[in-house]
């Protein structure tokens, strides 16, 4: 049986008069790393809350590994883990005690839970801090523990809500490595992020969430292609950007761009810039986003 | 940590969360709450030290002024036992409010657990905490001259009544913790409740109070409970007081549980 990891059809959720999710539809295949990308308030957390049974949607349907999140919540809960936006660890317990507690709540016996805790503590690089109170942990350690708690049993779908927000560059890269290796073991990962680089680095596919619906969907490369080809940039000796001329990436168009610079008698260093996800993001979520779709 | 992480399936943990048997979740949460209690040294110390100080103050400092014969000790100790029994319960409000504020409640909510198991953990831990504190306070009372005359049966009845009272007031504080927006708020609301025993027969006989206060003091829940404790330990007439005492405890318990369950559904149910 090949059920999808996540299926969302025409989901709608309002808080008071504010429509947060407005007809969202998505399918995530099993084993995929899927990123939901969007600015603050786009509805990322709300989407995760619906999928993890924390919130019920106003209309539309959502299922996780074939189970309806509303009518079969318990079956969903047995198969998922959530590492939410706020750290969900117990400050007054040690790292080991945290893992043991969640292992026992997942139905492992006492001995089994301690064994599992020892494994996870090592796997997530917390050995030195295993018996320290979480209260004294750094943000990075806290995040790692938070993630470890999601693996007391291997979830079929792992939900990560902005997993690296607030981490320094090094911790972020470490966490990316960790998430990659977790994904490599077959777990479907559904993550949200505001960082384009993160989506670019981790995700097989990316959905850009805007105004409660999917504004664009595809691989990082596909999304980049949507905002056109390379850009010819002219910088002065200080690296200050003087001109930028969009091209469609063909040789003739590139020549046209250079001729254009020649005509202007411009002087400086020419570089060719590939579109970044930033360009995609800004283009898709800016108020005149429709302009992009035409050029694409 | 930069080293590659071995695939988590290597150790082959069970792929699904198992259904929990019996009261597993509850016992895990009791263990958690007890750890919290033991590590929260300040609250624990307060829960024991303040009642002991209260005991010493009323027996030594005020005792002589109120009744120089020394019989005031025998009168006031039952009241102090009751005041103390509720004392440590107030921190339950703070613990509950704290759980609701941090993200941990959401993690629990994404798991197939009986709703409310986490509250049960806090309540049972509070019960144990307060029973220990009460025992210490009674011990100190005996040291300063309290001479109870109760039989074994009466002591057992006393333990049951005190446990019931602690349970009721703990549930009340748990509900307050759910209702309060923050742990700080919970602490403030909880504090107010601690004044209730002073408006009862706990410290001075109702007859010695101003006339307008007497009906309130005589008919508030704490008075029959104190009179029952006094009767059991000192042999004062019980009359119908035990029935009122148990009745009040049950009423408070039922209301608190219902209110708590309602708040819990609102705060920790599906939003
Ligand atoms: N419980 C709630 N009650 C009222 N409004 C809410 C509630 N939860 C979310 N919202 C509103 O819904 C919108 C989307 O919120 P959501 O948390 O899903 O955004 P997000 O994409 O996760 O943002 P962020 O990047 O800041 O985490 C916001 O405008 C928020 O104010
Ligand atoms: Mg969010």
Q: Determine the pLDDT at residue B183.
A: 82
Neighbouring C-beta atoms of residue B237, cutoff 10 Å: 8
User: Does the Cβ of A42 fall within 6 Å of ligand 1?
Assistant: yes
Identify whether residues A250 and A216 lie together within a single domain: no
Give the torsion sign (CA, B195, B198, B201, B202). positive
Mean pLDDT, residues B167-187: 87
At A289 the pLDDT is 47
Domain of A77 in residue numbering reads as 4-224
Residue A256, in any domain of the structure = yes
Q: Please give the order of strands across the beta sheet that includes A241-246.
A: A241-246, A231-235, A269-273
Please tell me the predicted confidence (pLDDT) of residue B80: 85
| pLDDT of B8 | 47
Contact status of A136 with chain B (Cβ, < 8 Å): no
Nearest CA to ligand 1 atom 25: A40
- Of A161, A224, A156, the residue nearest A185 (C-alpha): A156
Residue A295 in domain: no
Q: Are A14 and A20 in contact (CB under 8 A)?
A: yes
Q: What pLDDT score was predicted for residue B3?
A: 47
Q: Whose CA is nearest to atom 22 of ligand 1?
A: A45
Phi and psi angles of residue A21, each rounded to the nearest 5 degrees, phi first: -115, 125
ipTM above 0.85? no
What is d(CA B84, CA B48) in angstroms, rounded to the nearest whole number? 8
Question: Is it the case that residue B40 has pLDDT exceeding 60?
Answer: yes
The boundaries of the domain holding residue B231 are 24-267
Same domain, A157 and A139: yes
Pair A21, A137 in one domain: yes
Confidence of residue B27 (pLDDT cuts 50, 70, 90): very high
Amino acid A70: pLDDT: 92
User: How many domains, chain B?
Assistant: 1
The verdict on A241 and A220 lying in the same domain is: no
User: Are A192 and A201 spatial neighbours (Cβ–Cβ below 8 Å)?
Assistant: no
Task: Please count the structural domains in chain A.
Answer: 2
pLDDT given at position A286? 67
Structural domain contains residue B186: yes
Partners of A116 on chain B (C-beta within 8 Å) are: 11, 13
* Å from CA of A191 to ligand 1 middle: 16
CB proximity A127 to B under 8 Å: no
Q: Which residues of chain A have pLDDT under 70?
A: 1-2, 227-229, 275-278, 285-296
pLDDT number for residue B208: 84
CATH number assigned to the domain comprising residue A24: 3.40.50.300
Please check whether residue B244 lies inside any domain of the structure: yes
Residue B15 lies in a domain: no
CA distance A66 to A75: 10
Query: Is residue A262 domain-shared with residue A162, that is, in the same domain?
Result: no
Do A63 and A182 fall within a single domain? yes
A140 and A86 share one domain? yes
**pLDDT tens-digit map of B44-81:** 888 888 888 888 888 777 766 666 666 777 888 888 88
- Is residue A79 domain-shared with residue A204, that is, in the same domain? yes
Separation CA A131–CA B218 (nearest Å)? 53
Question: What pLDDT digit, counting tens, does each position of B143-174 carry?
Answer: 887 888 888 998 999 999 999 999 999 999 99
Q: State which of A205, A224, A243 marks the end of a domain.
A: A224
User: Do residues A153 and A194 both lie within one domain?
Assistant: yes
Q: Is residue B4 one of the residues assigned to a domain?
A: no
Q: Which of A224, A242, A266 marks a domain boundary? A: A224
> First vs last Cα of chain A: how many Å apart?
37
For residues A161 and A237, membership in a common domain is answered with: no
Contact criterion met (CB below 8 Å) for A151 and A81: yes
Domain assignment present for residue A268? The answer is yes
Question: pLDDT tens digits for A240-290?
Answer: 888 888 777 778 888 888 888 888 777 788 888 776 666 777 777 665 544
pLDDT tens per residue, range A40-67: 888 999 999 999 999 999 999 999 999 9
Q: Which of A11, A20, A196, A199 to mutate to test the pocket of ligand 1 (most atoms within 8 A of CB)?
A: A20
In a domain? residue A101 = yes
Percent above pLDDT 70 for chain A: 92
CA distances from B250 to A279, B7, B164, B240, B253 (A): 65, 53, 8, 16, 5
Distance of CA B222 from the midpoint of ligand 2 (Å): 47
Contact list, B271 vs chain A (CB under 8 Å): 49, 54-56
Same domain membership, residue A122 and residue A256: no
Predicted local confidence at residue B6, as pLDDT: 47
CA distance B271 to chain A (A): 5
**CB contact, 8 Å: A6 with chain B?**
no
Q: Per-residue pLDDT tens for B105-133?
A: 889 989 988 878 888 999 999 999 889 88
- Has residue B5 got a pLDDT over 70? no
Residues A237, A113, single domain; the answer is no
pTM for the whole structure: 0.82
Contacts of B107 in chain A (CB under 8 A): 82, 84, 88, 102, 149
Chain A CB contacts of B15 under 8 Å are 153-154, 156
Cα three-residue angle A136-A137-A142, rounded to 5 degrees: 145
Torsion region of B50: left, alpha or beta (phi above 0 gives left; psi -120 to 50 gives alpha): alpha
What pLDDT is recorded for position B270? 64
Output the residue whose Cα is nearest ligand 1's atom 7.
A15
Count Cα neighbours of A267 within 13 Å in the Cβ-side half-sphere: 1
**Of B139, B168, B184, residue with least CA distance to B251:** B168
CB contact under 8 A, A151 and B39: no
Cα separation of the two ends of chain B: 37
Q: What is the pLDDT of residue A276?
A: 66
Contact B15 A153 (CB under 8 A): yes
Note whether residue A77 is domain-resident.
Answer: yes
Which one of A21, A91, A106 makes the best mutation probe of the B interface by having the most chain B beta carbons within 10 Å?
Answer: A106
Of A162, A189, A224, the domain-final residue? A224
User: Which ligand is in closest contact with the Cα of A13?
Assistant: 1
């Amino acid at each position: 049986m090949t059920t999808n990891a996540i299926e969302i059809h025409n989901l709608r959720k309002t808080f008071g008069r504010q429509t947060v999710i407005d007809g969202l539809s998505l399918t995530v295949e099993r084993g995929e790393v899927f990123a939901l990308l969007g600015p603050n308030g786009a509805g990322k957390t709300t989407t995760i809350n619906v999928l993890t049974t924390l919130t019920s949607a106003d209309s539309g349907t959502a299922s996780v590994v074939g189970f309806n999140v509303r009518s079969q919540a318990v079956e969903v809960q047995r198969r998922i883990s959530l590492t939410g936006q706020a750290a969900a660890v117990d400050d007054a317990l040690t790292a080991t005690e945290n893992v043991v507690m969640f292992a026992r709540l997942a139905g492992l016996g006492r001995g089994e839970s301690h064994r599992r805790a020892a494994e996870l503590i090592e796997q997530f690089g917390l050995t030195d801090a295993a018996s320290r109170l979480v209260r004294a942990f750094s943000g990075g350690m806290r995040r790692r523990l938070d993630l470890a708690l999601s693996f007391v049993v291997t979830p079929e779908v792992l939900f990560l809500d902005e997993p690296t927000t607030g981490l320094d560059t090094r911790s972020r890269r470490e966490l990316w490595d960790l998430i990659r290796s977790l994904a490599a073991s077959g777990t479907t990962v559904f993550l949200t992020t505001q960082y384009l680089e993160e989506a670019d680095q981790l995700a097989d596919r990316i959905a850009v969430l805007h105004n409660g619906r999917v504004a664009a969907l595809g691989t990082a490369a596909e999304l980049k292609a949507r905002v056109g080809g390379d850009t010819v940039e002219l910088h002065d000796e200080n690296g200050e950007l003087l001109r930028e001329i969009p091209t469609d990436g063909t040789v003739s168009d590139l020549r046209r761009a250079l001729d254009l610079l020649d005509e202007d008698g411009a002087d400086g260093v020419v570089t060719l810039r590939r579109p970044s996800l930033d360009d995609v993001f800004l283009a898709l979520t800016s108020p005149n986003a429709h302009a992009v779709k035409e050029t694409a | 940590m930069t080293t590659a992480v071995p695939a988590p399936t290597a150790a082959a943990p069970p792929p699904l969360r198992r259904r929990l048997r019996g009261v597993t979740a509850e016992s895990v949460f009791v263990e958690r709450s007890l750890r919290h209690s033991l590590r929260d040294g300040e609250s624990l110390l307060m829960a024991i030290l303040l009642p002991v100080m209260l005991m010493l103050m009323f027996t030594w400092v005020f005792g002589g002024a109120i009744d120089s014969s020394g019989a005031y000790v025998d009168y006031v100790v039952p009241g102090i036992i009751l005041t103390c029994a509720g004392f440590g319960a107030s921190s339950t409000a703070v613990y509950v409010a704290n759980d609701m504020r941090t993200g941990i409640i959401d993690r629990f909510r994404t798991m197939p657990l009986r709703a409310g198991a986490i509250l049960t953990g806090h309540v049972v831990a509070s019960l144990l905490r307060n029973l220990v504190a009460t025992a210490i306070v009674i011990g100190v009372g005996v040291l300063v001259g309290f001479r109870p005359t109760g039989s074994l049966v009466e002591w057992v009845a006393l333990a049951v009544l005190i446990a019931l009272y602690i349970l009721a007031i703990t549930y009340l504080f748990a509900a307050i913790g759910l209702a309060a927006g923050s742990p700080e708020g919970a602490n403030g609301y909880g504090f107010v409740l601690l004044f209730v025993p002073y408006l009862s027969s706990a410290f001075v006989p109702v007859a010695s109070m101003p006339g307008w206060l007497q009906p309130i003091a005589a008919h508030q829940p704490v008075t029959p409970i104190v009179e029952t404790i006094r009767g059991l330990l000192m042999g004062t007439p019980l009359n119908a007081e035990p029935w009122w005492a148990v009745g009040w405890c049950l009423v408070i318990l039922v209301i608190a549980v219902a209110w708590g369950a309602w708040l819990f559904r609102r705060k920790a149910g599906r939003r």
